[in-house]
Amino acid sequence: MLNQKQNLLNKGWFFFAIAALFLWAKTYYALQSAFTLNIENWIQQFILVITPISSLLFFLGLSFFFSPKRRNKAFMTIYFLMSFALYANVVYFRFFNDYITLPVLMQYKNFGDLGGSAKALIHPMDILYWVDIVILITWLVAKKVRPKMEFRRRTVAMIFAASLGFAAVNISLAEMERPQLLVRTFDRAKLVKLLGIYNYHIYDTVMTAKTSSHRVMADSNELTEVLNYVNSQQGKMGAKGKYFGKAEGKNVVLVSLESTQNFVIDRKLNGQEITPFLNDLKDDSFYFSNFYHNTGQGKTSDSEFIIDNSMYGLPRGAVFTTNAGNEYNATPEIVKDHGYTPVSFHGNNASFWNRDIMYQSLGYDHYFSKKEYNVTDENSVNYGLKDIPFFEQSMPKLKGLDKPYYAKFITMTNHYPYILNNEKNKMIEPANTGDGSVDRYFQTMRYQDESIKKFFQMMKEQGEYKDTIFVLYGDHYGISENHNRAMSEILGKEIRPFEHIQLQKVPLIIHVPGMEGKEMDTVGGQIDLKPTILNLLGIEQENDVQFGTDLFKENREDMTIFRDGSVVTDKYVYAAEKDICYDKETGEEIDAKSCAPLKEKAETELGFSDEVVYGDLLRFMDSEQEENKQSE
């Protein structure tokens, strides 16, 4: 009996079968427990069961094309890579509520700077994703247990035939559940739910190769089509806004508020204001209470790209890392032509998000990065320099700039996992939801608010305040859908897709010293900041590719488009992931037909923006403008 067991353990087919079973089991476990896939029926549940099979048979089967001596090593290498891909997505999803794409992997330089964020995302139960590898390696190296992994050609052919068979069934059922699934490239949640995590990565690789070839095939006719669309949309908005040129010649200071969502404004926790300074500042400023972020996977870098260019980020990855060599017509370059000194301040490594390269393409004169600050263990936490010392050390650098200047400050302390390493910095008690990230969020938010207060005080003391307009904006959400339970407790209501979209509001405060402000209820997004800032400065831009509109225009269309295809207007909220239409005032679900035009416009506009970036179409702008002059 013992010999029979020993013989079985030495059988290559038995080892392959057990390994495949291990990989399938942990993949299915991840799909069920680590990702929020919202399984709706038994067909989708069945799809979830079979999705890993086709890809794991295919990839593990590739090891049989190696020589017998190298076959075991090849098999375990493939097995490890598939396990790593699975686990990387699990960890990535815990914070971003999204899945890794190939362009995201191009941001590998960022991973070394994640620090406490990465540690907080690793859970004790994650050992389940690695214990099988230990078992299999032990099996292979044990002296009396050494499977030879020898197969007949017929057996290998059967493995690949089974792989194709499962893939065909998977794709057929997926198309039944979601017609045109493979053309909805931005809907990664649907792709993973209906194709599985490994097949999703195959699809993503194909799409990345396709978009990479777009630049080679692009021509100026595509730019003409985009310009025709943009100009027609701008034409509907009428003449210049009422505040055109009201801040002409003034310095511009932009402050990117890390992970700041609008729900914290005017909210109290334990009887204390979370953002006391911003609450007061907005009452003396133009405060846009229906302003949303438009970011995708690029998060803070996406917000920077959107705000400087009035174009959308990409459906996969970040423009900063995939298309930094493109030609752009960004705000820094434009204001430089009008005598401004455009600079950026950030207490992180220059290469993070590829800023050292991208900023040159956007037209910044200088980037004050971590190397130009005094960063110590005491004045830094998590990603780097804390916000208060960041502003304190930035003031002499700002004071020394030629005026007028266009200066962007990127805060950092209010970043996941929301940690403060000094009790003096904790100016408010944490929440008590039992969710550590949500509970600590309010403490780092309060610290950030205090840093902005000190910054304004220094601007006044240094004599920089009166001749400067301040634009403060939230860069992206801070608390993802993974924390809906805790957020429901904070907000006192269930978080449906409607509420989730409302949580994508970020504060926008435009403070112009000497000018009376007011609360603005127009619906807009980061996409609108470029034309808004340029119009305040009295700088006209004609025939420019920008998808946003001046937020001060009285007859502007009240709407903004999210990167996932969702849309918000003054009347409707369209949740693209669920394909649901809501009445914005009541929050009630209504007939989807009401949102059909919004859905169509979102797909059109996002598509045009992607064409510009992927095709690097702005390199044709000079020839396009020359043709227009000749036609006139």
Residues classed as catalytic: 300
Residue from 320, 47, 318, 316 nearest 188 by CA:
316
Residues 6+ apart with CB under 8 A from 33: none
- The kind and range of the H/E element at 304 are helix 299-309
Per DSSP, 66 falls in state S
Residue 348's SS3 state is coil
Residue 465 burial (10 A CB sphere; 0-12, 13-18, 19+)? middle
Nearest-angstrom CA–CA distance, 497 and 548: 25
Nearest-angstrom CA–CA distance, 288 and 523: 8
First-to-last C-alpha distance (Å) of the chain:
93
> Which two three-digit tokens encode residue 239?
């003449």
CA distances (Å), origin 522, targets 256, 307, 512, 536: 21, 18, 19, 17
Residue from 471, 495, 470 nearest 481 by CA:
495
Nearest-angstrom CA–CA distance, 466 and 457: 12
Nearest-angstrom CA–CA distance, 170 and 74: 27
Residue 614 φ/ψ, nearest 5 degrees = -65, -35
Residues 6+ apart with CB under 8 A from 70: none
337 HSE (CA, 13 A, CB side): 11
Residue 414 φ/ψ, nearest 5 degrees = -80, 55
Q: What is the chain's percent helix, strand, coil content, to nearest 5?
A: 55, 10, 35
Residue 307: CB atoms within 10 A of its CB come to 26
Burial 468-493 (b: 16+ CB within 10 A, else e): bbbbbbbbbbbbbebbbebbeebeee
Per DSSP, 384 falls in state E
Residue 120: CB atoms within 10 A of its CB come to 19
Q: Are 512 and 246 in contact (CB under 8 A)?
A: yes
CA distances (Å), origin 69, targets 17, 76, 97, 151: 20, 13, 42, 13
> Which two three-digit tokens encode residue 448?
């950030």
> Which two three-digit tokens encode residue 37?
């896939």
Which amino acid, residue 466? K
| Distance, C-alpha 458 to centroid of its chain | 32
